[in-house]
Amino acid sequence: MNVVYLAKNKRSAARCLEEVVSRGCAVSAVVVGEPSPLDHESQRVDLVAERHDLPMVSEEELYALAPELDGRVDLVLSVLYPRLIRRPLIELARVACLNFHPAPLPDWRGLGGYNMAILERLEEWGASAHFVDEHFDTGDIVRVKRFAFDPEIATAWSLDLLSQEHLFELFCEVLGLAMSGEALPREPQGEGRYVSGPDLELLRMVPDDVGAQEIERRVRAFWHPPWPGATIVRDGRAFTLVDQRLLDEAALTLRDAGQVP
């Protein structure tokens, strides 16, 4: 089976590419953004590609290559890829062009799922595999993998860690289905909720009139370093809020990394 792979540098995405290779798939192209200085080696999709001598191209180069790849590609796989996939890539694959989304669809499209799950006190979350269409997160669903979590203790960071494990399991299941030769299930999405960047920024800002319980929830809901956390503004300056639990977690992380005075 021949695969085109697009991803974000994240540990689950790196593991998914390793899984593609381990199952004997040929990989025609890998597209991944430039690594950040904060990325850990285990998150680096580009290092997986280099280790297996897979061809890495830019998004622009991939679209230019599409006519040459036509008829040769079985799967186009997007794992946490942050950009909208367009034609002709959508129709390039013989089997499917699929996206793996770290939230249950159609309930939660777009950005900020982890934040919203905690803010809205949900007790279940999930990861989704869906066919790609011309919009973000709206294509027919292949499978949704749901799991329980506790919104009263979770942070965006801890929910992300948990979700990535389930996303990897989902990827392995769906890849196996695709390689079996059976038609992938597909169910049209119903109405869903889309969260935008501006929506999240409004929720990140902590008003002066909210109580301690709501502040604590927002602190947890937006705790995902290095992204800005729950924020207050004073004299035109933004300050991120933390509590003692998060300081303790940060101190333990620094200790385990040997960054101690």
CATH code of the region 2-194: 3.40.50.12230
Query: Most distant CA pair in the chain: distance in Å?
Result: 62
Q: What is the pLDDT of residues 195-222, one digit of tens each?
A: 888 999 999 999 989 999 999 999 999 9
Confidence of residue 260 (pLDDT cuts 50, 70, 90): confident
What predicted TM-score, i.e. pTM, was given to this entire model? 0.95
Q: What is the pLDDT of residues 95-129, one digit of tens each?
A: 999 999 999 999 999 999 999 999 999 999 999 99
Q: What is the pLDDT of residues 143-171, one digit of tens each?
A: 999 999 999 999 999 999 999 999 999 99
Going from N- to C-terminal start, the domains of the chain cover 2-194, 196-256
On average, the pLDDT of the chain sits at: 96
